[in-house]
Amino acid sequence: MEPTAPPPDAGGAPPGATGSTVTLHVNGVPHRLTLDHRTTALDALRVHLRLTGTKKGCDHGQCGACTVLADGRRVNSCLLLAVTLDGVPLTTVEGLTDGGDLHPLQRAFLERDAFQCGYCTPGQLCSAAGALREAADGHPSHVTPDTAPPGAPVELTAEEIRERMSGNLCRCGAYPRIVEAIGDATAHRAGPPASPTVHGLGAVSVHEAREGS
């Protein structure tokens, strides 16, 4: 699917019946853009802001390649209209780094060789960062035990990681390494770098689910 419009002129066209001027706060930097109302967040990032780390996969919200963080929560950017994100802090894979230092998830993906072609990796990384925060904030998943204390950080077993990452597809089949990498990153550091868009994830632990545990 082709992008809805080319990048605007430096001055930007005046908003009208089919467009609006919005400010997208991406990776801590505000960008004022005049966009067609039909422009998706994905096209705004890739075409208008030239942040091509976020990938266009299925363009139907089914593969997760376009996952970014909106106010710290993971979203499929291909399904969101950019004008609905006016003023919302957004984080793309480019914003996961802390200055020149890789995010613990990025380091773990490299160390575990948790990718092959790498096309889905940006979405996997952003989704993993969001999943860690959700678990730290006590949001249960489908596999979280009913006996888990309400609101308490959820222990990230391998089963929990697989469930929480199930919306991100890897056509190369690197799933085992992805689960291991997320487990490594969670064990070494409990959160992404401090930034205007992604906050501390709290203390969570990861272990392989043992039979009978």
DSSP per-residue codes, 152-189: SPPPEEHHHHHHHTTTS--TT--HHHHHHHHHHHHHH-
Tokens 């997208």 locate to: 24
28 alpha-carbon distance from chain centroid: 15
The answer on pLDDT for 93 being more than 70 is yes
The answer on pLDDT for 204 being more than 70 is no
What is the structure's pLDDT at 194? Answer: 36
The answer on pLDDT for 159 being more than 90 is yes
**SS3 per-residue string spanning 108-130:** HHHHHCCCCCCCCHHHHHHHHHH
The answer on pLDDT for 110 being more than 70 is yes
Share of the chain above pLDDT 70, in %: 80
CA distances 41 to 70, 115, 201, Å, are 10, 25, 25
146-171 mean pLDDT: 94
Q: Residue 45 is which amino acid?
A: L
What is the structure's pLDDT at 17? Answer: 79
pTM: 0.80
155-179 mean pLDDT: 96
Query: Judging by beta carbons within 10 Å of its beta carbon (0-12, 13-18, 19+), is residue 60 exposed, middle or buried?
Result: exposed
How are beta strands 89-91 and 67-70 bridged, if at all? antiparallel
What is the structure's pLDDT at 191? Answer: 41
pLDDT tier, 173 (very low <50, low <70, confident <90, very high otherwise) = very high
Q: Residue 188 is which amino acid?
A: H
Tell me the C-alpha distance between 114 and 142, whole Å. 24
User: Which of 130, 50, 126 shows the shortest CA–CA distance to 95?
Assistant: 126
pLDDT tier, 5 (very low <50, low <70, confident <90, very high otherwise) = low
Tell me the C-alpha distance between 185 and 171, whole Å. 23
Of 50-54, 87-91, 145-149, 190-194, which gets the smallest average pLDDT? 190-194
What is the structure's pLDDT at 199? Answer: 31
CA-atom Rg of the chain in angstroms: 18
CB 129 within 8 A of CB 192: yes
